[in-house]
Amino acid sequence: MATIKEFTAAQAATWCGGTLEGDATQVLSGIDFLDLASPTQLTFASKDIYALHVAESAAAGVLCQRGLKLAKRPDQLVIWVENADLAVVAILEQIAPALPLPALGVHASAVIEPGAQLGADVRIGAQVVVQAGAVLGDRVVLMPGCFIGAESHIGADTVLWPHVTVRERCTVGQRCILHPGVVIGADGFGYRFHQGRHVKVPHVGTVEIGDDCELGANTCVDRGKFAKTVIGHGSKMDNLVQVGHNVRLGQHAILVSHACIGGSTQVGDYLVMGGGAVLTDHIKVGKGVQVAGMAGVTEDFADGQRICGIPARPMRNYLHSYKYYLQLPETVKQVRDLTQQLADLQARLAQLESRQP
């Protein structure tokens, strides 16, 4: 799709299914935040705190969620929508610049080993290596420098950005996006200490990544020791996420940057992990668990819990304890004062007792 540099208010309303109030012919050039939008751009408001400040924005108009308290200037148009965030997505899908994909076919510098199978309409960039027995689905895109190991499978419509590595016998599903530097199927971190040295444990398993997954730049998913590491359908990972060997991650997980899951941990669907959170190895975490950023999870947790802290605890319990933790300096001072007062009283009592006939 060619880049759409400009569009009308009527087009924007149609794309996002909104109701327009204002000049339908007004020409717009994009979308930006309240404080950054120009006089030819839309902004958006998904909460009252934003809707009440639209008049202060230079924006030509606003995508406003129905039911909000909107304060705008008379010259600003409004597109009323059910969900402002999703409306932004719908418009961005229409105006996003076309991706700079390789040409259809195989670049002259790519190495496609005998026995590799290529689907229809693949795009394979410069310096790509596809080893023997690998299978690429229809319309797969491999940007320059990608490596696909022997007998690996890449599903249809999946895009691998530059320098992605998918090692031997691993599977990536359909419609996935792997950002630059992702490594799928490196050996898990496994050693046994014997006779003064660390003995490497061979990892003979694989990785299976479901459909519609997205993995951020430099994210790593290690291969299983015996069987396979599994990433469920629809899971999304930020940059620099680590998933250890033999992890079983459910569907539609969200893992924010620097999240880490230790080996052999099993996780239910709809996990959410904040930035820097860690699940230790060999634990079970239930469906819909939410882990706050920087939390350290060292034990099993049942479905639906919200947890935080190190070691992680249910959020309500943690916050209750943390309230008292913040009082510790004053509590310590009070204990010291009371200890001194007690010592003074004991000394005076001893003096009085010594004066008794």
Q: List active site positions.
A: 245
Contacts 24+ apart (CB under 8 A), 131-134: 131/168
CA 244-249-255 angle, 5° bins: 80
The residue whose two tokens read 């992890």 is 247
Distance CA 264, CA 289 (A): 18
What CA–CA distance (Å, rounded) separates 171 from 50? 43
Place of tokens 């259809």: 104
Strand pairing partners for 165?
147, 183
DSSP state of 113: -
Number of H helices, E strands in the chain: 5, 40
Q: In this structure, what token pair is assigned to residue 134? A: 């690998």
Pairing of strands 214-215, 236-237: parallel
DSSP β-bridge partners for residue 28: 7
Dihedral, CA of residue 254, residue 260, residue 265 and residue 270, to nearest 10: -10
- How far is it, in rounded angstroms, from Cα 261 to Cα 80? 41
Contacts of 309 (CB under 8 A, 6+ apart): 292, 295, 296, 318, 322
**252 φψ region: left (φ > 0), alpha (ψ -120 to 50), beta (else):** left
The residues, ordered by sequence, that sit 6+ positions from 86 with a Cβ below 8 Å of its Cβ are 16
